[in-house]
Amino acid sequence: MPAPTETTVTSPTTGVRRHHRFTLKDLVLIVVLGVVFGFLYWALVQAWTGLSILLGPAGDLAQHVLLGGWLLVAPIAVAIVRTRFAGILAEVLASVIEVVFLGSAVGPMLIVAAAIQGAGSELPFAVRRYSSFGWGSYALSGLLGAGFVFIFSAFRFGWYGQDLFFIRLAIQLASGVILGGLLAKVIVDALAKTGVVDNYAIGRALHAQARG
């Protein structure tokens, strides 16, 4: 029986009961993912710097090429625990690691951007009540995560009206789909095959599908 403070819903797709609130186990996993991806995102910043140098005059576009990499943790967290706000929380935690512990040059505004892109990345799963995790859902997750944060960044950095505006947008959306969406699907599937996430919502859903 679920705890009195929790509500559950049965997925019409899998028949698996999902909690609307985080369990302690879910929260621990999200914190771990936030820490791990905080360090990975910091490493991605170093790659961004190197790519900027290699691209020379077009170096400013490097941030759009790699942007999708900063979206990864949201769909991974959502796919594993399948509870609302998991993606936003994971992205924000990763950004806090970057800013507070690794001294990201972007500063506190990175946390705001993380919340925005986390919301965009989680939205496709949320509208399907966390029951659809096919390639299309992941691709849309990356697309919306990249699109949401692009709108924010375009205002912040004055990209509107620039000649490169639509080039920036196209590159960032493509990066979101590939690195922030499809790559997340590959990672989640690989984790599921190892059995390390069997005790989470994803494991219960996969077992239900196997029985069905």
pTM: 0.88
Q: What are the phi and psi torsion angles at 188 (to 5°)?
A: -60, -45
Show me where the domains of the chain are located: 8-211
Per-residue pLDDT tens, the chain, 212 aa: give them: 333 334 444 444 444 445 568 999 999 999 999 999 999 998 998 888 888 888 888 888 988 999 999 999 999 999 999 999 999 999 999 999 988 888 766 678 899 999 999 999 999 999 999 999 999 999 999 999 999 999 999 999 999 999 999 999 999 999 999 999 999 999 999 999 999 999 999 999 988 887 76
Environment class of 27 (CB within 10 Å of its CB; exposed 0-12, middle 13-18, buried 19+): middle
What residues pair up with 17 in beta bridges, in sequence order? 10
Tokens representing 204 are 């219960």
Fold of 8-211: Arp2/3 complex 21 kDa subunit ARPC3 (1.10.1760)
How long, in residues, is the chain?
212
DSSP string, 77-103: HHHHH--TTHHHHHHHHHHHIIIIIS-
Dihedral (C-alpha) 8, 10, 15, 19: value to the nearest 10 degrees? -30
| Site of tokens 């790659």 | 47
